[in-house]
Amino acid sequence: MAFWCYILRCSDGKYYTGHTDNLERRLAEHHHGGFSEFTSKRRPLTLLWAQDFPSRHEALATELTVKKWSRAKKEALARSDWKALSHFAKPPSERSTNAPPLGVSTALDTNGDEGH
């Protein structure tokens, strides 16, 4: 049996990270509303990223890690942009002085709120 970690992009631009043992069913629950108060208020939703894992423990551990990540880091993961993911994994003081990879918004926090 596969277990999944996933990221949803909500209609207001915020991200929701979760895990499940049935991705199709869980997406339907989110789209229908009532499963999660957070996503119920922010429909429609788009699946940004999903990865399968061999155990619930690994999917949950990934969820708990990824949900703490910055918006830029989550977007790099969704694009499979390992160079950008590595860049944003470093503290800002340790990043090179080069500009962040193109197409990445650093003006938004993890949940899509401007300027905080």
pLDDT in tens, 1-57: 899 999 999 999 999 999 999 999 999 999 998 889 999 999 999 999 999 999 999
pLDDT at 15: 97
Whole-angstrom Cα distance, residue 8 to residue 45?
6
Helix (H, G, I), strand (E, B) or coil at 72: helix
**In terms of pTM, does the model score above 0.75?**
yes
- Please check whether residue 25 is in contact with residue 15, taking contact to mean a CB–CB distance below 8 angstroms: no
Give 93's pLDDT tier (boundaries 50, 70, 90).
confident
Whole-angstrom Cα distance, residue 69 to residue 89?
8
pLDDT at 95: 84
Residue 43: count of CB within 10 angstroms of its CB: 14
**CATH fit for domain 3-68, picks 3.30.930.10, 3.60.15.10, 3.40.50.1950, 3.40.1440.10:** 3.40.1440.10
Give 100's pLDDT tier (boundaries 50, 70, 90).
low
